[in-house]
Structure 1
Amino acid sequence: MASRGMPLDTAAIFSTVMEGILYGFSVLMFMGTMWALTRKRRMKEINRTNTAVAFMLLILSTAHMIVDIIRIEEGLVTYRDTFTGGPAAFFADVTQITFVVKNIIYTMQTMLGDGMVIYRCYIVWQSVWVIIVPSCLWLGITVCGICAVYSVSKATNEAGNIFAKATGQWITAFYAMTLASNLLASGFLAYRIWKMERNISAVRTSNNSMMPIVRVLADAAILYSVTLLSALLCFVEGNNGQYVVLDMIMPIISIAFYMVIIRMAMKTTSYSHISAAGMGSNETAREIPQQYHMKRMPVEVHISQITHQDETSKSTY
């Protein structure tokens, strides 16, 4: 399949610029995430899972940004006059080490980001059955990602065509399964939180609501899904715009992860399983509205137990 759209050297410049802008924004959000995870907490209270994943996302995004800068320098400066076909041919050559490395990093970033969404979904639902399909898709993503990178690194006859069947089939499957996994896991997660919100709304005495969490989960899922869908459509159509979207996805994965943690850190009400969705906190909380407590009326809510804290209390995430 012949590529269409902007020349590859132009696409390389534009994609690196767009990635750099989003990367800078993701670094700011990383700082906000670290503040949200550590403020007013002792060392043993800091969620290590969230912190580790946040750092890993930052490291992978930074590595991808560095590789792209090196790739731009090589294509437009170092091999500008010596590579057969010029810069456009250089950026089309999928066997270049920089191209292979950046795709390895992208695969790892996708596996990490999608894996965390599935993990949140499991923590909130407390059921393996809910995550069976997303987990199978995640395994498929892993296989397709590895096969795509391998086929790219071994390309010979069609090394200048990323849309060739040998590589294209794996990349198309990778995009499609990533999109499906993200939509399923995010949908299940948002539905569970919305369902719990409905169950507790009748007995809650405060104005605190978990709907902002549902909205930010939806926003993060939409942001990531729209970008993935754009990449998939560009790739299927053989448009070089997929290079631009692909580089933009790297920081977007980090941004989608950070925005959920930061929004949850802004809540002053802690729900045991929902706070665990913010990455694995297992503390049990209790909220018994005063009028129900005085009447000794049992209040059953679908989440384990709910805690109402005053404004000076510290929430867990």
Structure 2
Amino acid sequence: MITLPEASLLALFLETLFYGVFFTFYWLALVILLKKRGIQRDLLLPVATLLLCIATGHLIINFVRALEAFVFNVDTIGADAYYSNLASPLGLAKTALYVTQPTVADSVLVWRCYVLNNRSLLVGIPGCIVLLANGAIGYYIVWSLSQAIAGSTALIIVPGLIITFYTLTMLINIAFTTLISWRIWRSRQPISGSSAELLPVLIVIVEGGAIYATSVLALLLAFLTGSNGEYPAMDIASPVVGIVFCLIILQVHFHVGNNPQPDSPPKPFTILFGERGEQNVSHSMEPMIEETEVIQSDVMRSRRLSGDEC
């Protein structure tokens, strides 16, 4: 079985690796989003930047902790005792950042689902309640860890709350990803020939949700089995959240946006966006793009470019 110091070093290595992937994806997504207007630039760009800042802070804390455990305090405390102290300020800060990262990303997921369902309060209110409850549980766990005594473990302090947090995080992602996919499919299904065009968009959504949910599931299983593999799984979760967020933007832009489809009436998209989109569509597609989330906006943009070339 892997020891705690070994697990911490492995976590640092894997987090650095995944952070490099996230950092690269962020700059690619930044180039794409800077060319957009409206909600894409006003919301997605700040969120992507915030996710990068959180992941950067998380990685820096892990580096500092590694230096203290294996270099500065190796003769006084020892790496095993250092990492076993759950109430250390750096450890608590790292856990708080871990709780913040999925909360921010899931907020965008709930918002996207709310928009696609015609801004229905039946979707928005329950989503916000579950999201806030999960965030409150996460920060309460951080506070509980701050009260931990030397030698205690997370399995002893708040096992039920930790399991609840992991489970809710995974269920929020699965539920809202499924609802988004179902809403898009249902709205476009009556349109002739729309299935083949819609499939790449759905694949992008489902892939992103599957990657995120799988990482949380691995973390939950490691915690339930009492394995130190929980620490690598937890530390890579921070950059993975950002990777999934940027990956959806990149996949839509390069896979969907660069595959122009024949011109067709824009009415099916107004089904997704509500009356507000219907008022704008008679004048221009561009205002409607500003009102929508990134997946549908890139599809509409590719259609407009295709029409100009013809």
TM range (shorter): 0.7 to 0.9
Distance 1:236 1:44, change over 3 A: closer
Separation in structure 2 between the aligned mates of residue 58 and residue 275 of structure 1, nearest angstrom: 30
Stretch deviating more after TM superposition (260-269 or 22-31): 260-269
**How far 1:274 sits from its partner (Å)?**
9.5
Output one character per residue of 1:145-182: Cα deviation in whole Å (capped at 9) or x when no partner.
Answer: 111000001112x5541211x23222111101111111
Question: What amino acid is aligned across from residue 129 of structure 1 in structure 2?
Answer: L
1:297 paired residue number? none
Shift of 1:311: 2.4
2:186 counterpart of 1:195: yes
Residue 256 of structure 1 corresponds to 244
* RMSD (Å), alpha carbons: 2.9
Residue 275 to residue 124, structure 1, CA distance change in 2 (3 Å): closer
The question of 1:55 aligning with 2:49 is answered yes
Matched, 1:139 2:132: yes
Counterpart residue type for residue 74 of structure 1:
E
Q: C-alpha displacement at 1:6, in angstroms?
A: 1.1
**Contact preservation (8 Å) 2:51, 2:101:** yes
How far has the Cα of 1:36 moved from its partner?
A: 1.4
**1:6–1:286 distance in 2 versus 1, CA, 3 Å:** farther
Cα distance change, pair 95–68 in 1 and its aligned pair in 2 (3 A): same
1:240 counterpart SS class: coil
Q: What residue number does 1:28 align with?
A: 24
Q: How far apart in 1 are the matches of 2:128 and 2:38?
A: 30
- Alignment partner of 2:15 out of 5, 14, 19: 19
Aligned position for 2:227: 239
**Structure 2 CA distance for aligned equivalents of residues 310 and 249 of structure 1:** 37
Q: Distance in 2 between matches of 1:90 and 1:274?
A: 56
The 1:103–1:236 alpha-carbon spacing in structure 2 relative to 1, beyond 3 Å, is same
May I ask how many residue pairs the two structures share in their alignment?
Answer: 280
CA 1:31–1:59 in 2, change beyond 3 Å: closer, same or farther? same
Say whether the 8 Å CA contact 1:137–1:180 is kept in structure 2: no
Specify the SS of the correspondent of 1:101.
helix
> Which residue identity is paired with 1:110?
P
The equivalent of 1:300 in structure 2 is none
Alpha-carbon offset, residue 192 of structure 1: 1.1
Aligned-partner Cα distance in 2 for 1:283–1:240: 56
**1:101-120 alpha-carbon deviations (Å, 9 max, x no partner):** 00111111111011111111
C-alpha spacing 1:27/1:263, structure 2 compared with 1 (3 Å):
same
Instruction: Select the structure that is richer in helix.
Output: 2
Question: Cα distance 1:284–1:8, how it changes in 2: closer, same or farther (>3 A)?
Answer: farther
Which stretches of structure 1, 4 residues or longer, exceed 3 Å deviation after superposition?
Answer: 43-46, 131-134, 268-276, 281-287
Amino acid of the residue matched to residue 8 of structure 2? A
74, 87, 90: which one pairs with 1:80?
74
Separation (CA, whole Å) in 1 of partners of 2:87 and 2:307: 58
CA-CA distance at 1:199 after TM superposition: 2.5
CA drift of 1:232 comes to: 0.7
AA aligned opposite 1:309: R
In structure 2, the CA distance between the partners of 1:260 and 1:273, relative to structure 1 (3 Å rule), is farther
Counterparts of 1:25 and 1:96, CA distance in 2: 29
Q: Are 1:272 and 1:283, in contact at CA under 8 Å, matched by a contact in 2?
A: no
Distance in structure 2 (CA, Å) of the matches to 1:22 and 1:273: 38
Are the counterparts in 1 of residues 117 and 272 from structure 2 also a CA contact under 8 Å?
Answer: no
- Residue deviations 1:114-136 (CA, integer Å, cap 9, x gap): 11111111111122213444333
The AA in structure 1 aligned to 2:176 is A
Gaps in structure 1 of 5+ consecutive residues: 288-302
Query: SS in structure 2 opposite 1:192?
Result: helix
Contact 1:230 1:245 in 2 (8 A): yes
Say which is worse superposed, 263-272 or 185-194, in terms of deviation.
Answer: 263-272
CA distance in 1, matches of 2:5, 2:271: 46
Distance apart, 1:310 and its partner CA: 3.9
Residue 167 of structure 1 is aligned with which of 158, 169, 173?
Answer: 158
Counterpart mapping for 1:215-294 below 5 A: 215-266=203-254, 267=257, 268=260, 272=269, 284-285=280-281
Percent identity of equivalent pairs: 22
* Partner SS, residue 158 of structure 2: helix
